[in-house]
Chain A
Amino acid sequence: MLDVTGIAAPGAWAKTGNTSLPGFGLTLGLSLTYLSLLLVIPLAALALYTARLSLPEYWAILADERVSSAFCVSFLSAGYAAVINGFFGFIIAWALTRYAFFGRKLIDALIDLPFAIPTAVAGISLAVMFSPNGILGKILMPLGIEIAFSKAGIVIALIFIGLPFVVRTVQPVIRELDREVEEAAMSLGANFAQRFFKVIFPSILPALLTGVALSFARGVGEYATIIFISSNMPYETEIVPLLIVKKLLQFDYVGASALGSAMLILAFLLLLVINLLQSWMKRDGNAA
Chain B
Amino acid sequence: MGISIRQVHKHFGGFVALDEINLDIPEGELTALLGPSGSGKTTLLRCIAGLERPDAGSIHFFGENATNKPVKNRGVGFVFQHYALFKHMTIFDNVAFGLRIRPRATRPGRDEIREKVHKLLAMVQIDSMARRFPGELSGGQKQRVALARALAVEPRVLLLDEPFGALDAKVRQELRRWLRYLHDEMHITSVFVTHDQEEALEVADRIVILNKGAIEQVGTPEEIYDNPVNPFVYEFMGRVNLFHARFRRNESGAEGKAEMAPGQPPVSLFIRPHDIELQRHDEDGKGIAAKIIAHKVLGNRVRVELLTPETGEKIEANIDRKTWRDSKFNTDDSVYFRILGAKVYKPDATWSDYVI
Contact = CB atoms under 8 A, between A and B. Distances in A.
**Are A and B direct contacts in the complex by CB distance below 8 Å?**
yes
B159 to A, nearest CB: 14
B113 interface: no
15 contacts: A14-B12, A14-B13, A17-B12, A17-B52, A18-B53, A19-B51, A19-B52, A19-B53, A20-B50, A20-B51, A20-B52, A20-B53, A20-B70, A20-B71, A22-B70
Interface in B25-77: 50-53, 70-71
A3 B114 CA distance: 43
Nearest to A22: B70
Nearest to A16: B12
A18 B54 CA distance: 10
B317 to A, nearest CB: 40
Contacts of A20: 50-53, 70-71
B9 to A, nearest CB: 14
A-B interface, 7 closest residue pairs, ranked by CB to CB distance from nearest: A20-B71, A20-B51, A20-B50, A17-B12, A20-B53, A19-B51, A19-B52
Interface in B222-265: none
Interface in B50-106: 50-53, 70-71
B94 to A, nearest CB: 20
B contacts with A: majority SS: loop
Interface string A6-50: 000000001001111010000000000000000000000000000
A19 to B, nearest CB: 6
Given A17-B12, A20-B50, A20-B70, 10 more contacts: A14-B12, A17-B52, A18-B53, A19-B52, A19-B53, A20-B51, A20-B52, A20-B53, A20-B71, A22-B70
A19 B13 CA distance: 14
Contacts of A14: 12-13
A22 B50 CA distance: 12
Contacts of B53: 18-20
A26 to B, nearest CB: 15
Nearest to A18: B53
A20 B51 CA distance: 5
A78 B51 CA distance: 50
A17 B52 CA distance: 9
A64 to B, nearest CB: 50
Nearest to B17: A17
A18 B53 CA distance: 8
B123 to A, nearest CB: 29
Contacts of B51: 19-20
- Among A14, A20, A22, residue most surrounded by chain B Cβ atoms (within 10 Å): A20
B20 to A, nearest CB: 20
A23 to B, nearest CB: 12
Contacts of A22: 70
B295 to A, nearest CB: 35
Contacts of A17: 12, 52
A14 to B, nearest CB: 8
B10 to A, nearest CB: 10
- Among B12, B50, B70, residue most surrounded by chain A Cβ atoms (within 10 Å): B12
Contacts of A19: 51-53
Nearest to B15: A14
